[in-house]
C-alpha cells in the first residue's frame, strides 16, 4: 500500500504543478487535410534498458515517423495510423550486442451507420516491439510481461461492435473481440503465445438523456498456441504422469456485470462496470479448477477547459502472466494472475503552444497456483512530458518515465529511469 501512496502522490504532484489557466485558445499541428505526416528525433538516457535487477544504462537515439489518415464518407468514417520506431543504444554497441530496436504500431478503425438505428464500429491495433507498453491491452490493461523482451514480439487486439437502438429507451451492443499474442523467443513464446476470443452482449436502458444503465454478459476463451513444454520436469502425482505444456493454461470464462454511464456535466463523464468472473482452467493436467472473482472497470474523464483534460480509473480482473513457477510441494502450475490497477492522467495546455502531461499507474497482481500462489507482484510508474510548438509544423519536447516492479521472484524485480529530449516535424 505504501507504493500506491507514493505513486499516486507523485501523480498528484504533477497535477498541482500544471494547474494553471488553460486559456480559450488551442494550437494544433494538423490542418484541414485528411492526412498528416510527422517525424520525431529524440536523444535519451535509459538507466536500465534490460529491465533487470542489475542495471545496464545507455545513451541512445530514437527516430520515429508517423502517418495518419482520416477518410470521412457519407455514412462511414475510416481512420489509419502507423508509427515506426527505431532506437539505437550506445552501450549495447560497445558490448558487441545488437544496438538496434525496431517497433511498429498500426491502428485501423471504421465507423459505419447503416441507418439512424444501426451502426457498427471496427477497431484493430497491431503492435510489434519489445517494451511492455506496446504489448498490453491499452492504458487500463496489465501487461503479462512487465519488462522489456528481445525480438519482434506481436500483440494484436481487434473488435467489431454492432449497436442497435430498438426503441427510444432501449438499445443493445453486441461485440466480438480477438487478442492475438506471438512472442519471438523462448521461454516467453511457450508461456504466452495465445489466442483470446470474447463475445459480449450489453442490454442498455436510456434512463435520461445523460444516463445509460446496462446489464451484460461476456464469454471468453483463451487458447495457448505454442505447444512448448513450459516446465522441463516430469512429475508423478498419485501414479499419474504430469507434464506441463503451453495449453495446460487454456481456460474459459463467463463474465456477468451491471453498469452505468453518466454525464455529470457536459464535460464530465463517468462509467462503471461491476460484476463477477467465473474462470475454468479446464486443461490443467494436475487438477481442473474453477474460481469466481470480482470484475471491475471504473473511469472518470473531465475536460475542464479547452485543451485540458484529466482521467482516473480502476480495473480488476484475471489476466495472463509469463511466470510458470511450479510448486515443488503440491506440483501446481501458475495459471494466471488477478490484477488490480489504478491509473490517472492529465493533459494541460499552459499556453496555446505549451502542452504538459502526466500519467501515473499502480497495479497489484496476485498469482493463482504455483510456487508463488496468493503472493503479490506490484508494478507502478510515472510519466511526465512537456511539448512546445515553435511553429505550426515544428515542436520540441522533453520528458521522464519511471518504472518499478517488485516481485516475490527476486529475479524479476527492477527499477528504471528514462530521460528524453527531442524535436518533431509535422506536415
**Cβ–Cβ contacts within 10 Å for residue 2, how many?**
7
User: Does 125 have pLDDT greater than 80?
Assistant: yes
pLDDT in tens, 337-364: 999 999 999 999 999 999 999 999 999 9
| pLDDT for 11 | 33
User: Does 420 have pLDDT greater than 80?
Assistant: yes
Mean pLDDT of 224-232: 96
Mean pLDDT of 387-413: 96
Nearest to 336 by CA among 163, 140, 142, 137: 142
All 3 cell numbers of residue 353?
A: 503552444
Is the preceding omega at residue 187 within 30 degrees of 0, hence cis? yes
All 3 cell numbers of residue 17?
A: 504543478
| pLDDT for 138 | 53
| pLDDT for 140 | 58
Are the C-beta atoms of residues 158 and 125 closer than 8 Å to each other?
yes
Residues whose CB is less than 8 angstroms from the CB of residue 138 and which lie 6 or more positions away in sequence, other chains included: 157
Q: What is the 3-state secondary structure (H, E, C) of 170-218?
A: EEEEEEEEEEEEECCCCCHHHHHCEEEEEEEEEEEEEEECCEEEEEEEE
Q: What percent of the chain has a predicted confidence (pLDDT) above 70? A: 92
Are the C-beta atoms of residues 107 and 83 closer than 8 Å to each other?
no
The Cα diameter of the chain in Å comes to 74
Give the confidence band of 114 by pLDDT, cuts at 50, 70, 90.
Answer: very high
Q: How far apart are CA 34 and CA 68, in angstroms?
A: 8
Q: How far apart are CA 46 and CA 51, in angstroms?
A: 10
Mean pLDDT of 67-93: 96
Mean pLDDT of 404-408: 97
| pLDDT for 7 | 32
Q: How far apart are CA 29 and CA 84, in angstroms?
A: 19
User: Does 133 have pLDDT greater than 90?
Assistant: no
pLDDT in tens, 97-110: 999 999 999 999 99
Mean pLDDT of 162-185: 97
Q: How far apart are CA 56 and CA 70, in angstroms?
A: 41
Residues whose CB is less than 8 angstroms from the CB of residue 232 and which lie 6 or more positions away in sequence, other chains included: none
| pLDDT for 26 | 36
What is the residue-averaged pLDDT of the chain?
91
User: Does 276 have pLDDT greater than 50?
Assistant: yes
| pLDDT for 137 | 59
Q: How far apart are CA 208 and CA 314, in angstroms?
A: 25
The CATH topology of domain 2-426 is Porin (2.40.160)
Give the confidence band of 256 by pLDDT, cuts at 50, 70, 90.
Answer: very high
User: Does 18 have pLDDT greater than 60?
Assistant: no
Q: How far apart are CA 381 and CA 127, in angstroms?
A: 21
| pLDDT for 341 | 96
| pLDDT for 358 | 98
| Cα of 13 vs its chain's centroid, Å | 24
| pLDDT for 69 | 97
Are the C-beta atoms of residues 319 and 339 closer than 8 Å to each other?
yes
All 3 cell numbers of residue 146?
A: 512487465
pLDDT in tens, 23-33: 433 334 344 57
Backbone φ and ψ of 93, nearest 5°: -65, -40
H or E segment and range at residue 18 = none
User: Does 81 have pLDDT greater than 70?
Assistant: yes
Collapsing DSSP to helix, strand or coil, 285 comes out as coil
All 3 cell numbers of residue 2?
A: 505504501
- 27-36, 110-119, 142-151: least confident range: 27-36
pLDDT: is 331 or 30 the higher one?
A: 331
The CA distances from residue 165 to 98, 162, 189, in Å, are 55, 10, 43
Domain range annotation of the chain: 2-426
- 10-24, 95-109, 173-187, 268-282: least confident range: 10-24
What pTM does this model have? 0.89
Amino acid at each position: 500500500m505504501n507504493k500506491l501512496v507514493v505513486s499516486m502522490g507523485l501523480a498528484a504532484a504533477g497535477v498541482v504543478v500544471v494547474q494553471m489557466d488553460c486559456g480559450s485558445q488551442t494550437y494544433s499541428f494538423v490542418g484541414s487535410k485528411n492526412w498528416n505526416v510527422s517525424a520525431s528525433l529524440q536523444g535519451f538516457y535509459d538507466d536500465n534498458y534490460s529491465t533487470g535487477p542489475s542495471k545496464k544504462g545507455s545513451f541512445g537515439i530514437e527516430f520515429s515517423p508517423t502517418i495518419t489518415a482520416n477518410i470521412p464518407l457519407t455514412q462511414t468514417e475510416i481512420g489509419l495510423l502507423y508509427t515506426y520506431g527505431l532506437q539505437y543504444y550506445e552501450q549495447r554497441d560497445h558490448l558487441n550486442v545488437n544496438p538496434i530496436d525496431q517497433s511498429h504500431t498500426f491502428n485501423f478503425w471504421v465507423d459505419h451507420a447503416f441507418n439512424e438505428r444501426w451502426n457498427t464500429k471496427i477497431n484493430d491495433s497491431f503492435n510489434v516491439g519489445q517494451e511492455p507498453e506496446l504489448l498490453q491491452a491499452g492504458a487500463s490493461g496489465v501487461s503479462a510481461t512487465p519488462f522489456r523482451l528481445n525480438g519482434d514480439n506481436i500483440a494484436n487486439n481487434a473488435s467489431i461492435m454492432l449497436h442497435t437502438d430498438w426503441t427510444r429507451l432501449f438499445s443493445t451492443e453486441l461485440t466480438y473481440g480477438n487478442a492475438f499474442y506471438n512472442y519471438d523467443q523462448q521461454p516467453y513464446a511457450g508461456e504466452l503465445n495465445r489466442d483470446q476470443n470474447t463475445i459480449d452482449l450489453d442490454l442498455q436502458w436510456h434512463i435520461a438523456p445523460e444516463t445509460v444503465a446496462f446489464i451484460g454478459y461476456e464469454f471468453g476463451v483463451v487458447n495457448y498456441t505454442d505447444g512448448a513444454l513450459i516446465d522441463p520436469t516430469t512429475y508423478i502425482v498419485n501414479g499419474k504422469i504430469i507434464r506441463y505444456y503451453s495449453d495446460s493454461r487454456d481456460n474459459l470464462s463467463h463474465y456477468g456485470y451491471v453498469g452505468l454511464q453518466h454525464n455529470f456535466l457536459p464535460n464530465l463523464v463517468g462509467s462503471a462496470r461491476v460484476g463477477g468472473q467465473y474462470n475454468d482452467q479446464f486443461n490443467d493436467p494436475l487438477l481442473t479448477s474453477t474460481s469466481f472473482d470480482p470484475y471491475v472497470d471504473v473511469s472518470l474523464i473531465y475536460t475542464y477547459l479547452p485543451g485540458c483534460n484529466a482521467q482516473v480509473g480502476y480495473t480488476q480482473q484475471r489476466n495472463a502472466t509469463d511466470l510458470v513457477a511450479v510448486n515443488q510441494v503440491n506440483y501446481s502450475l501458475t495459471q494466471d494472475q488477478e490484477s488490480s490497477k489504478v491509473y490517472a492522467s492529465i493533459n494541460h495546455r499552459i499556453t496555446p503552444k505549451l502542452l504538459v502531461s502526466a500519467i501515473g499507474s499502480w497495479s497489484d497482481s496476485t498469482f493463482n497456483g504455483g510456487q508463488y500462489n496468493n503472493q503479490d507482484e506490484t508494478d507502478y510508474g510515472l510519466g511526465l512530458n512537456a511539448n512546445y510548438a515553435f511553429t505550426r509544423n515544428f515542436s520540441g519536447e522533453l520528458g521522464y518515465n519511471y518504472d518499478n516492479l517488485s516481485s516475490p521472484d527476486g529475479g524479476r524485480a527492477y527499477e528504471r529511469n528514462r530521460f528524453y529530449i527531442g524535436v518533431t516535424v509535422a506536415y
